[in-house]
Amino acid sequence: MEREITPIELRRIVGDRIRFLRKKRGWSQEELGEHAALSYKFIGEIERGAVNPSLDTLLSISNALNVEIAKLFSNDQMRVLKENEISSILSALAVLNNVLGDVNVKNF
């Protein structure tokens, strides 16, 4: 059984996805805000997962980015790892660390 995602995690996933799509277009937060008729400060809060944007807000952002709203909830570029996958990766990195020397694993 997969672990349930928390609201905070979902806000971070959506925020990260919006940031990715915004940067892919080469836009600043100010530019996305102008296209979506939202404050750039609010765009920043959404991207950090600090606020819970309404569906209306997400629709404005998706329209501004010219993507389907569902694209704000998925990411073709990233993969969410399960706990057992993270454990396997950390174990493999530990083996590599023993073989190769000081491998930096602090980002996990």
Average pLDDT of the residues in 56-67: 96
Domain with CATH 1.10.260.40 in the chain: 7-77
Question: What's the CATH code, domain 7-77?
Answer: 1.10.260.40
| pTM of this prediction exceeds 0.85 | no
What is the SS3 assignment for 50?
coil
Among the listed residues 84, 43, 49, the one whose alpha carbon sits nearest the alpha carbon of residue 61: 43
Tell me the pLDDT band of 74, cut-offs 50, 70 and 90: confident
Structure tokens at 45: 């809060």
Structure tokens at 70: 């569902």
Q: Residue 21 pLDDT more than 80? A: yes
